[in-house]
């Protein structure tokens, strides 16, 4: 029976709109908890109601002389604003939106150097209020603002958080200008059209009413019979591909739309990657390299009407590759795409038999990070040192291939990999093209030579995205963790660690967690986050594709 027929038989569309948790679990307790997480169903209508109020708040911010908005958040609290900012922008005269979903000292220092407290509004965004990254960044930015603004600093901060959270209490105590409530029945990765997405978008000058109009139109389409329902069609396509052994969702988008892939990556990976199954998102740079596509690929194309290169991608794909294409004529149509993918991902979870609304393994790396910061857990000692580069391996039954070189470590890591495997390079580096560009090029070249899915993930962002999939999805991943000994000392006020200490602990915590699960992983510790060391790493990795 096809996946679409299974959705029809389960009456899945109607039951999802009815917020029926039993669509995802036969356990009454689990079904009840899932029902309490389906507040995103029909969310566009309430986002539409809020558009006018938010537009007025945005205008007030501009009148007060705000030129820059800095959003401190992670995962579901940051990716939608990041996508909206990069795809839509705010137009002439709108404040610039800087999304800091990182603990990189290099990035934080470089961002602060471009800002002035009196013209900056800082948005602290966290559902629970307890996430370590935005809390640490808030401490840094608060001290920065107080040094110039004194007692007026609080008026340059707002919070987006769920009612009753620790962040709400802190915002009240610290004199924030405003607190925007999240929705407790909407999980972070499904919250694009909640306050977590539309408040920063509105502040940055994006036309939220136009965005939600697109979302409302797609919601209406997602109510119709399953055979004509765009979300059901997408879910069925993904599930049928999985059934045929194609678990790598290759996402190709026209350049203006490419940032949307980051949001899709989190939604799909964190929702489906559990119980040793899952959809592995692979974000390709357009126009894509068909040499890299093996028999485990499904290809999703999101393109503008006049992107001739992507229009021909189906013809370039290997014979038999399933291709699904969506044409976006208006950039504001991504409001509708948020809706399409949320509904499709939920229905895919039903078809796979997994709960798409939990993330049971994300906490493992968080706990390991905390233990490293507390000194109760230590990262493994380096297996070898090559000049100022330290290498640590955890390769079951393999060692380092019998030679003490980085190339040998990579060869051992990739030994036995086939088209069903994938490589994830987990780079705790600044998201700066000059620095990570050579590594991105090497990852693409390796994928083409090995016909194997390869991804480049920026840490710690991926911990709140594909990290769930890495640990509990298909056990076919191979991992390279890239760290640096960043000597820029950025203290975190009130905390016993520096920002550099935090990002290293996050990387080491994930290394320990992956290794504990018996997954093959190599850590490469570079002397600094700079072009030279990263280029050397990239050249060695590129050479591994020749093996």
pLDDT digits (tens, 9 = 90+) for 107-155: 999 999 999 999 999 999 999 999 999 999 999 999 999 999 999 999 9
For the cut 90, the answer to whether the pLDDT of residue 58 exceeds it is no
Q: Do domains 3-36+222-352 and 43-213 have the same CATH topology?
A: yes
pLDDT of residue 263: 98
Q: Is 496 exposed, middle or buried (0-12, 13-18, 19+ CB in 10 A)?
A: exposed
Question: What is the architecture, at CATH level 2, of domain 362-544?
Answer: 3-Layer(aba) Sandwich (3.40)
Instruction: Extract the tokens encoding 191.
Output: 């919250």
- What's the CATH number for 3-36+222-352? 3.40.50.10490
Q: Is the Cβ–Cβ distance between 108 and 137 less than 8 Å?
A: yes
What distance in Å separates the CA atoms of residue 98 and residue 490, rounded to the nearest whole number?
Answer: 19
Please work out, in degrees rounded to the nearest 5, the angle formed at the alpha carbon of residue 452 by the alpha carbons of 446 and 454.
60
- What average pLDDT does range 36-65 have in this prediction? 80
The helix/strand/coil state of 300 is strand
* 410-429 burial: b if 16+ Cβ within 10 Å, else e: bbbbbeeeebbbbbbbbbbb
Tell me the helices (H) and strands (E) count for the chain, helix number first. Answer: 21, 15
422-427 vs 453-458, strand pairing mode: parallel
pLDDT in tens, 66-82: 999 999 999 999 999 99
For residue 147, give the nearest of 179, 176, 118, 109 by alpha carbon.
118
Residues 184-198, mean pLDDT to the nearest whole number: 94
CA distance 533 to 525: 10
In the CATH scheme, what is the homologous superfamily, with its name and number, of domain 43-213?
Answer: Glucose-6-phosphate isomerase like protein; domain 1 (3.40.50.10490)
pLDDT (average), residues 154-178: 96
Say what the pTM is.
0.96
Tokens, residue 135 = 């809390």
CB-neighbour burial class of residue 384 (10 A; exposed 0-12, middle 13-18, buried 19+): middle
Domain ranges of the chain: 3-36+222-352, 43-213, 362-544
Residue 517 CB neighbour total at 10 angstroms: 16
Mean pLDDT of the region 379-401: 83
pLDDT more than 90, % of the chain: 86
pLDDT confidence of residue 401: 45
| CA distances from residue 362 to 90, 105, 353, 465, 472 in whole angstroms, order as listed | 33, 23, 20, 9, 9
Distance (Å, rounded) from C-alpha 178 to C-alpha 168? 10
Q: pLDDT tens-digit profile of 415-429?
A: 988 879 999 999 999
* Residue 512 and residue 379 in contact, taking contact as beta carbons nearer than 8 Å: yes
Instruction: Report the alpha-carbon distance of residue 167 to residue 499 in Å, rounded.
Output: 20
Q: Specify whether the CB–CB gap between 220 and 98 falls below 8 A.
A: no
- Whether the CA torsion 55, 138, 96, 210 is positive or negative: it is negative
Q: Output the pLDDT for position 400.
A: 43
Q: Dihedral through CA 284, CA 285, CA 291, CA 294, nearest 10?
A: 0
Q: What is the mean pLDDT of residues 326-342?
A: 98
Are residues 102 and 233 in contact, defined by beta-carbon separation less than 8 angstroms? no
pLDDT at 402 over 50: no
pLDDT bracket for residue 489 (50, 70, 90): confident
Asked if the model's pLDDT at residue 23 lies above 80, the reply is yes
Cα 361 from Cα 84, distance rounded (Å) = 28
Q: Is 455 helix (H, G, I), strand (E, B) or coil?
A: strand
Instruction: Determine contact, residues 136/495, Cβ cutoff 8 Å.
Output: yes
Q: Return the pLDDT at 403.
A: 56
**Beta-sheet strands, E only, within 34-184:** 68-72, 96-100, 120-125, 157-161, 178-181
Per-chain mean pLDDT for the chain: 93
Residue 492 has pLDDT above 50, yes or no: yes
Is residue 398 over pLDDT 60? Answer: no
């Amino acid at each position: 029976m096809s996946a679409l027929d299974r959705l029809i038989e389960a009456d899945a569309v109607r039951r999802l709109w009815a917020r029926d948790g039993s669509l995802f679990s036969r356990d009454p307790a689990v079904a009840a908890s899932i029902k309490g997480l389906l507040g995103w169903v029909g969310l566009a209508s309430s986002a539409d109601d809020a558009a006018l109020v938010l537009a007025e708040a945005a205008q007030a911010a501009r009148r007060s002389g705000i030129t820059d908005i800095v959003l401190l958040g992670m995962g579901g609290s940051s990716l939608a604003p990041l996508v909206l900012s990069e795809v839509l922008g705010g137009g002439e005269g709108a404040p610039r939106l800087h999304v800091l979903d990182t603990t990189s000292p290099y990035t934080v220092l470089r961002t602060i150097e471009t800002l002035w407290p009196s013209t900056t509004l800082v948005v602290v965004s966290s559902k629970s209020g307890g996430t370590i990254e935005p809390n640490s960044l808030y401490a840094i930015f608060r001290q920065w603002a107080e040094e110039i603004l004194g007692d007026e600093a609080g008026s340059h901060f707002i919070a987006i958080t769920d009612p009753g959270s620790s962040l709400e209490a802190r915002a009240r105590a610290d004199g924030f200008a405003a607190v925007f409530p999240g929705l407790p029945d909407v999980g972070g990765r499904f919250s694009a059209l909640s306050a977590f997405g539309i408040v920063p978008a509105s502040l940055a000058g994006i036309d939220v009413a136009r965005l939600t109009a697109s979302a409302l139109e797609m919601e209406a389409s997602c109510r119709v019979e399953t055979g004509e329902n765009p979300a059901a069609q997408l879910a069925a396509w993904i599930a049928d591909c999985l059934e045929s052994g194609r678990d790598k969702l290759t996402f190709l988008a026209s350049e203006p739309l490419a940032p949307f892939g980051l949001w899709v990556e989190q939604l799909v990976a964190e929702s489906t990657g559990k119980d040793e199954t899952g959809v592995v998102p692979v974000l390709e740079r357009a126009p894509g390299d068909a040499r890299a596509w093996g028999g485990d690929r499904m290809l999703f194309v999101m393109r503008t009407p006049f992107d001739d290169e992507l229009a021909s991608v189906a013809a370039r794909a290997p014979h038999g590759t399933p291709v699904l294409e969506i044409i976006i004529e208006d950039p504001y149509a991504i409001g509708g795409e948020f809706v399409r993918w949320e509904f499709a991902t939920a229905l895919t979870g039903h078809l796979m038999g997994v709960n798409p609304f939990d993330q049971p393994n994300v906490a493992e790396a968080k706990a390991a990070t905390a233990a490293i910061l507390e000194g109760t857990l230590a990262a493994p000692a380096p297996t070898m040192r090559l000049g100022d580069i330290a290498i640590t391996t955890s390769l079951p039954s393999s060692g380092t291939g019998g030679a003490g070189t980085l190339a040998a470590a990579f060869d051992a890591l990739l030994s036995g990999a086939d088209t069903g495997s994938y490589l994830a390079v987990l780079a705790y580096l600044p998201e700066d093209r000059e620095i990570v560009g050579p590594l991105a090029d090497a990852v693409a070249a390796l994928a083409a030579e090995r016909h194997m899915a390869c991804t480049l993930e920026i840490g710690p962002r991926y911990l709140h995205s594909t990290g769930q999939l890495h640990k509990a999805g298909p056990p076919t991943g191979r991992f390279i963790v890239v760290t640096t000994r960043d000597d820029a000392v950025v203290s975190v006020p009130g905390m016993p660690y520096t920002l550099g200490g935090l990002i290293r602990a996050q990387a080491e915590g994930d290394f320990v967690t992956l290794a504990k699960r018996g997954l093959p992983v190599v850590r490469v510790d570079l002397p600094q986050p700079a072009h030279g060391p990263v280029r050397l790493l990239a050249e060695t990795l590129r050479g591994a594709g020749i093996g």
